[in-house]
C-alpha cells in the first residue's frame, strides 16, 4: 500500500523533485565557483571567498523552505482537486491515509537533501582549504534535511486541514496583524506578530532550525 502511495506521489511531483534536486546539488558547488585552490591565495582573497560562500549559504534556508513547502502542497494537490473523494472512499482510516501520504512525502523530501549532500561533498572535495578553514558537508546536509522536513510537516498539515481549519489559521494571523496595528497606533512597543515569530524561530521553536549559521566552509 505504502509502495503504491509513494509511487503515485513520486509520479505527481517528479518534475518538481528533479528540478529541486538539480538546484540542491548545484548550490553548494556555487561556493567553490571562485576557484579550487584556495590554499595558495592571500588572506584578503580568502576573506572575500568566505564572504561569497557565506552568501550562498544564506540562500539555503530559503531553499529548504521552498522544497518543504512545495512537497507539502504537492502531497495533497490531486486530493484537493478531487475534494478528497478518492482518498476518503478508500478502506483505510483517515489517520492511516494521512500517515501514508506524509510518509511518502518524507521519503521524497530526502531526494533533494541527498542531492544537496552530494553537492556539498563534491564542493568540499573540490577545494584545497588553507589551515584553519574547514568544510562541514555533513552538518550542512543534516541541517538542510531537518529544515526541509520541518517546513514540509507544517505545510502538509496546513494543506490537509479542513477549509474551516485553514480559515481559522488565516483568521488568527489576520487578527494578530490587526492587533499589532492597534498597538502601534497607541504607541506600544509590544508586537504580537514579532513575539510569535521570535518564539517560533528561537530554540525550542520549530522554525529555529532555519535561523543561525548555514555554512559549508567556516573557520
Partner 1 sequence: MTEFAIQTQDLQYRPGPGFEIRDLSLRVREGAIYGFLGPNGAGKTTTIQLLLGLRRAQGGSMRILGREAPRELPRILSATGYVPERPHLYTYLTVAQAIRYHGAFYERFDWAYAEDLRRGFQLPQGASISRLSKGEVGKLLILLVLAQRPDLLVLDEPTDGLDPVVRRDVLTALLDFCAQRAATVFISSHLVHELERICDWIGVMDRGRLTAELPMHAFKNGIKRIRLAHAPSLVGDTPFTLVSRESSGLDVVWVVRGWQPPMVQWFQGVGAEILEVVDLDLEEGFVELLRGARSAQAI
Task: Please tell me whether residue 18 binds partner 1 under the rule CB under 8 A.
Answer: no
Closer residue to partner 1, CB minimum distance, 5 or 57:
5
Of 18, 22, 26, 92, the one binding partner 1 (CB under 8 A) is 92
Task: Please tell me whether residue 15 binds partner 1 under the rule CB under 8 A.
Answer: no
Helix, strand, coil % in the chain, rounded to nearest 5: 75, 0, 20
Integer Cα distance of 12 and 124 in angstroms: 33
Of 22, 39, 90, 178, the one binding partner 1 (CB under 8 A) is 90
CB crowding 103-126: b at 16 or more within 10 Å, else e:
ebbbebbebbbebbbbbbeebbee
Task: Please tell me whether residue 33 binds partner 1 under the rule CB under 8 A.
Answer: no
How many binding residues for partner 1 (CB under 8 A)?
18
Cis before 51? omega within 30: no
Shortest CB 204 distance to partner 1, Å: 37
Of 30, 78, 139, 142, the one binding partner 1 (CB under 8 A) is 78
Q: DSSP secondary structure string, 154-191?
A: HHHHHHHS-HHHHHHHHHHHHHHHHHHHHHHHTT----
Task: Please tell me whether residue 80 binds partner 1 under the rule CB under 8 A.
Answer: no
Binding site for partner 1 (CB under 8 A): 1, 3-5, 7-8, 11-12, 78, 82, 85-86, 88-93
Amino acid at each position: 500500500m505504502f509502495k503504491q502511495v509513494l509511487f503515485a506521489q513520486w509520479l505527481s511531483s517528479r518534475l518538481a523533485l528533479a528540478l529541486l534536486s538539480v538546484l540542491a546539488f548545484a548550490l553548494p558547488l556555487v561556493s567553490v565557483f571562485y576557484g579550487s585552490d584556495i590554499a595558495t591565495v592571500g588572506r584578503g582573497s580568502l576573506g572575500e571567498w568566505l564572504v561569497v560562500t557565506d552568501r550562498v549559504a544564506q540562500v539555503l534556508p530559503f531553499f529548504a523552505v521552498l522544497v518543504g513547502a512545495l512537497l507539502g502542497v504537492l502531497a495533497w494537490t490531486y486530493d484537493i482537486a478531487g475534494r478528497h473523494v478518492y482518498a476518503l472512499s478508500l478502506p483505510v482510516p483517515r489517520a492511516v491515509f494521512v500517515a501514508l501520504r506524509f510518509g511518502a512525502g518524507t521519503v521524497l523530501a530526502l531526494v533533494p537533501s541527498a542531492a544537496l549532500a552530494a553537492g556539498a561533498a563534491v564542493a568540499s572535495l573540490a577545494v584545497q582549504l588553507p589551515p584553519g578553514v574547514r568544510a562541514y558537508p555533513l552538518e550542512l546536509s543534516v541541517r538542510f534535511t531537518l529544515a526541509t522536513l520541518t517546513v514540509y510537516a507544517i505545510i502538509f498539515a496546513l494543506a490537509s486541514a479542513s477549509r474551516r481549519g485553514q480559515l481559522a489559521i488565516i483568521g488568527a494571523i489576520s487578527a494578530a496583524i490587526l492587533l499589532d496595528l492597534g498597538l502601534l497606533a497607541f504607541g506600544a512597543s509590544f508586537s504580537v506578530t514579532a513575539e510569535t515569530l521570535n518564539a517560533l524561530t528561537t530554540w525550542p521553536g520549530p522554525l529555529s532550525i532555519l535561523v543561525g549559521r548555514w555554512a559549508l566552509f567556516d573557520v
